Amino acid sequence: MHDGRQTMNDHNSSLESYTQEFPNCETLIEGEVQVSWKINGSDIIFQLRSKTTVQEKYLAFGVSGSQTENLMDGGDVTVTYINSTGHAQAIDYYLGSYSQCTPQTGQGACPDTLASNQANDNVGLIDFFVEDGITSITYRRPLAAHDTIFDKDILLAQPTYMIWARGPINAAGTVAIHSARVNRNSNFRINFGRVVSSCPPLVATVDTVTTPTPIPQWRIPRIIARQNTTFTAEMGPSGGEQGYEAITGRIGWGIAWYINDYLIPELVVERGRTYTFLVHGGNDSTFSANYHPFYITDSEDGGYEQLSPEVQQVTLQGPLCQWQEPTGGVDTLTVSTFEEYLAMLNKMCEPGEPAELVWTVADDTPDVVFYQCYTHLFLGWKILVLDPDQPTPTEQPDVPEPITSPTPDTTTSDASNFSASMILLVLIVAVLRILA
Ligand SMILES: [Cu+2]
Q: Please state, in angstroms and rounded to a whole number, the distance separating the CA atoms of residues 338 and 218.
A: 6
CA angle, residues 119, 377, 102, in degrees to nearest 5: 20
Distance 11 CA to ligand 1 centre (A): 41
Q: What is the pLDDT of residue 430?
A: 40
Q: What is the pLDDT of residue 58?
A: 93
Q: Please state, in angstroms and rounded to a whole number, the distance separating the CA atoms of residues 167 and 95.
A: 14
Going by C-alpha positions, the residue among 30, 59, 63 that lies closest to residue 162 is 63
CB 220 within 8 A of CB 250: no
* Sheet strand arrangement including 223-224: 223-224, 267-270, 381-386, 368-373, 294-297
Distance 294 CA to ligand 1 centre (A): 8
Going by C-alpha positions, the residue among 293, 272, 289 that lies closest to residue 434 is 293
φ, ψ of residue 251 to 5 degrees: the values are -90, 130
Q: Please state, in angstroms and rounded to a whole number, the distance separating the CA atoms of residues 256 and 435.
A: 23
Distance 318 CA to ligand 1 centre (A): 12
Q: Please state, in angstroms and rounded to a whole number, the distance separating the CA atoms of residues 160 and 150.
A: 16
Greatest alpha-carbon pair distance for the chain in Å reads: 78
Class of residue 96 by CB neighbours under 10 A (exposed 0-12, middle 13-18, buried 19+): buried
In this structure, which amino acid lies at residue 314?
V
CB 294 within 8 A of CB 316: yes
Distance 428 CA to ligand 1 centre (A): 18
CB 420 within 8 A of CB 299: no
Distance 177 CA to ligand 1 centre (A): 14
Distance 365 CA to ligand 1 centre (A): 24
Q: Please state, in angstroms and rounded to a whole number, the distance separating the CA atoms of residues 307 and 103.
A: 10
Distance 64 CA to ligand 1 centre (A): 25
Distance 271 CA to ligand 1 centre (A): 27
Distance 144 CA to ligand 1 centre (A): 34
The residue ranges of DSSP E strands in 249-335, in sequence order, are 255-259, 262-263, 267-270, 274-279, 294-297, 321-324
Distance 396 CA to ligand 1 centre (A): 27
Torsion of CA 390, 392, 394, 398, to 10 degrees: 110
Distance 138 CA to ligand 1 centre (A): 34
Distance 303 CA to ligand 1 centre (A): 7
Distance 344 CA to ligand 1 centre (A): 23
Q: What is the pLDDT of residue 20?
A: 53
Distance 264 CA to ligand 1 centre (A): 14
Distance 374 CA to ligand 1 centre (A): 6
In 163-318, where does DSSP find H-type helix? 244-248, 304-307
φ, ψ of residue 56 to 5 degrees: the values are 70, 15
Distance 226 CA to ligand 1 centre (A): 28
Distance 170 CA to ligand 1 centre (A): 15
φ, ψ of residue 134 to 5 degrees: the values are -110, 125
Q: What is the pLDDT of residue 217?
A: 83
Q: What number of residues does the chain have?
A: 436
Neighbours of 343 (CB within 10 A): 9
Distance 136 CA to ligand 1 centre (A): 35
Neighbours of 126 (CB within 10 A): 22
Distance 335 CA to ligand 1 centre (A): 25
Residues around ligand 1, an ion, CB closer than 5 A: 292, 373, 375-376
DSSP string, 350-408: -SSPPEEEEEEPPTT--SEEEEEESSSBS--EEEEEE-TTSPPP-PPPSSPPPP--SSS
φ, ψ of residue 344 to 5 degrees: the values are -85, -10
pLDDT, one tens digit for every residue, the chain (436 residues): 344 455 444 433 444 444 457 889 999 998 899 999 999 999 999 999 998 766 778 999 999 999 999 999 999 999 999 888 888 999 999 999 888 888 878 888 999 999 888 899 999 999 898 888 889 999 999 999 999 899 999 999 999 999 999 988 887 788 988 878 898 889 999 999 887 788 888 887 765 455 566 677 898 999 999 999 999 999 999 988 889 988 888 887 789 999 999 999 999 999 999 999 999 999 887 777 888 988 888 888 777 766 544 333 455 778 999 999 988 788 888 898 999 999 999 999 999 999 998 999 999 999 999 999 888 888 999 999 999 999 998 765 544 444 444 443 333 333 333 344 444 454 444 444 443 3
Q: Please state, in angstroms and rounded to a whole number, the distance separating the CA atoms of residues 281 and 259.
A: 11
Neighbours of 57 (CB within 10 A): 17
Distance 292 CA to ligand 1 centre (A): 4
pTM over 0.85: no
Could you give the count of Cα atoms lying within 13 Å of 357 in the half-sphere of its Cβ? 25
Distance 52 CA to ligand 1 centre (A): 31
CA–chain centroid gap for 114, Å, is: 15
Residue 228, C-beta contacts closer than 8 angstroms, at least 6 positions apart: 273, 274, 275, 276
